[in-house]
């Protein structure tokens, strides 16, 4: 079965081709137009998706050695995300499905990230926990059985990646800030600034307080060292993830944890979780970096699995700005 995956939920346009579970092509075009605004501008994102989606699809099929008539299933992100951006991908996917007379499946972006784990050849055993850490989401999810999700905790305010981006911006680093913070942090000294580890109730996350603490520190110390601020912010931001994940494991008794989402590319994050895995004798699962940040291969994989179990989506499906994993229809 050949699945064409399409992802346009934010500022990455991506098209992938899978033959069964094998990734033949996974092309990602990141929009640089947002850099000068220091964040994603929804209108610009949608317009850029329109510009590149057709050539990107041609390119992905060429890399995969397939043509449109080989495609058996079209899998597309329907949300959550930016409505205008999602509409480009969904409308294009629908037009392909109608003209090729092939089934369409709409995929939840977070479920896509969860299936990103399997693209790395990891087949987690149920039940397992997934920590989703991206620019839009920070959640810890229990996957009891295939397609059954229970979100144990999510962020009360900013997502972790969003905090990386905002802290980078206030220090004058480019957008998206995560990779720049990581680079600067590697040259800074950890545990030299006293930023508090956020400790909201239960298994919730919170990054607004930490972001504000960094803002005040940089205001009060105009000659601050960017590397040191980055190192201390990053350490605390990641420690928060480790603490919540540890509590989730002890509360559920589940010792199988997958890490997904753009922030899990971060090497210090991986280092901290691998240290935790050793300490807690748990199974830690991570994907190669190309399947952690937004990509269409994960959408194709999730769509293929969902199609095999539940059949195609109705061609009348719409995009959804928000959709919890529990509410996937």
Sheet-wide strand order for 104-108? 22-30, 12-19, 2-7, 73-79, 104-108
Among residues 305, 294, 311, the alpha carbon closest in space to that of 77 is found at 294
Length of the chain in residues, anyone? Answer: 329
Contact string (CB under 6 A) for ligand KG4, positions 114-153, x = contact: --------------------xxx-----------------
- The token duo for 307 is 């199609």
Strand-pair category, 128-133 with 138-145: antiparallel
State the angle between helix axes of 296-310 and 109-119 in degrees (0 to 180), rounded to the nearest 10: 100
Q: Does 258 bind ligand KG4 (CB under 6 A)?
A: no
The answer to whether the beta carbons of residues 136 and 112 sit under 8 Å apart is no
- 161 contacts ligand KG4 (rule: CB under 6 A): yes
CB 295 within 8 A of CB 28: yes
Which listed residue (158, 294, 305, 323) binds Zn ion by CB under 5 A?
294
Question: Do the beta carbons of residue 217 and residue 224 sit within 8 Å?
Answer: yes
Query: Beta strands 2-7 and 12-19: pairing type?
Result: antiparallel
How near is the Cβ of 101 to ligand KG4 at its closest, in Å? 32
Q: Which two tokens stand for residue 198?
A: 């956020």
| 11 belongs to the binding site for Zn ion (CB under 5 A) | no
Give the one entry of ligand KG4, Zn ion, none that residue 164 binds, where binding means its C-beta sits below a cut-off of 5 to 8 angstroms depending on kind.
ligand KG4
Residue 5 CB, nearest approach to Zn ion (Å): 13
Q: Which two tokens stand for residue 37?
A: 């605004």
Two tokens, residue 238: 């990641």
Q: How far is CA 30 from CA 209, 247, 282, in A?
A: 30, 35, 35
Nearer of residues 182 and 305 to ligand KG4, judged by Cβ: 182
Torsion (CA) 185, 190, 194, 196 in degrees, nearest 10 = 70
Q: Would you say 96 or 206 has its CB closer to ligand KG4?
A: 206
Q: Which stretch binds ligand KG4 (CB under 6 A): 38-46, 144-152, 172-180, 210-218?
A: 172-180
Partner from ligand KG4, Zn ion, none contacting 300, C-beta within 5 to 8 A by type: none
Q: Per CB under 6 A, does 178 bind ligand KG4?
A: yes
CB 184 within 8 A of CB 164: no
Cα separations (Å) of 322 from 110, 136, 189, 209? 11, 11, 39, 24
38 binds, among ligand KG4, Zn ion, none (CB under 5 to 8 A by kind): none
Is 171 or 254 the residue whose CB approaches ligand KG4 more closely? 171
- CA torsion sign for 155, 166, 89, 145 is negative
Count of residues in contact with Zn ion, rule CB under 5 A: 2
Q: Does 305 bind ligand KG4 (CB under 6 A)?
A: no
Is 134 a binding residue for Zn ion by CB under 5 A? The answer is yes
Given 153, 262, 303, 312, the residue binding ligand KG4 (CB under 6 A): 262
Nearest approach in angstroms of CB 182 to ligand KG4 is 4
Under the criterion CB under 6 A, does residue 182 sit at the interface with ligand KG4? yes
Residue 5's binding partner, choosing from ligand KG4, Zn ion, none, with beta-carbon cut-off 5 to 8 A by kind?
A: none
Binding range to Zn ion, per CB under 5 A, among 66-74, 132-140, 171-179, 297-305: 132-140
The footprint of Zn ion (CB under 5 A) covers 134, 294
Residues that bind ligand KG4 (CB under 6 A): 10, 134-136, 161-162, 164-165, 176-179, 182, 261-263, 265-266, 293-294
């Amino acid at each position: 079965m050949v699945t064409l995956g399409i992802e346009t939920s934010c500022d990455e346009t991506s098209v992938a081709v899978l033959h069964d579970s094998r990734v033949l092509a996974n092309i990602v075009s990141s929009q640089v137009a947002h850099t000068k605004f220091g964040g994603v501008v929804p209108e610009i994102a949608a317009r850029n998706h329109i510009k590149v989606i057709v050539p990107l699809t041609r390119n992905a099929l060429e890399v995969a050695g397939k043509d449109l008539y080989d495609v058996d299933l079209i899998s597309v992100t329907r949300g959550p995300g930016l409505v205008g951006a999602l509409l480009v991908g969904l409308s294009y996917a629908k037009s392909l499905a109608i003209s090729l007379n092939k089934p369409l499946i709409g995929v939840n972006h977070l479920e896509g990230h969860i299936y990103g784990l399997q693209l790395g050849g990891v087949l987690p055993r149920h039940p397992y926990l997934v920590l989703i850490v991206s620019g839009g989401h920070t959640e810890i999810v229990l996957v009891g059985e295939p397609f059954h999700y229970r979100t144990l905790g999510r962020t009360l305010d900013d997502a972790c990646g969003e905090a990386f981006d905002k802290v980078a911006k206030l220090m004058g680093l480019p957008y998206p800030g995560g990779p720049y913070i990581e680079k600067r942090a590697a040259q800074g000294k950890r545990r030299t600034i006293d930023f508090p580890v956020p400790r909201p109730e239960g298994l919730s996350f919170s990054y607004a307080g930490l972001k504000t603490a960094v803002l005040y520190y940089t205001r009060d110390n105009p000659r601050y060292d960017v590397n040191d601020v980055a190192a201390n912010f990053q350490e605390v931001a990641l420690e928060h993830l480790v603490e919540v994940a540890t509590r989730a494991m002890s509360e559920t008794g589940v010792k199988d944890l997958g890490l997904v989402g753009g922030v899990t590319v971060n090497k210090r994050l991986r280092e901290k979780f691998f240290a935790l895995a050793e300490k807690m004798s748990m199974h830690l699962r991570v994907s190669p970096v190309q399947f952690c940040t937004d990509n269409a291969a994960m959408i194709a994989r999730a769509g293929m699995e969902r199609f095999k179990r539940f059949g195609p989506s109705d061609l009348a499906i719409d995009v959804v700005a928000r959709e919890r994993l529990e509410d996937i229809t």
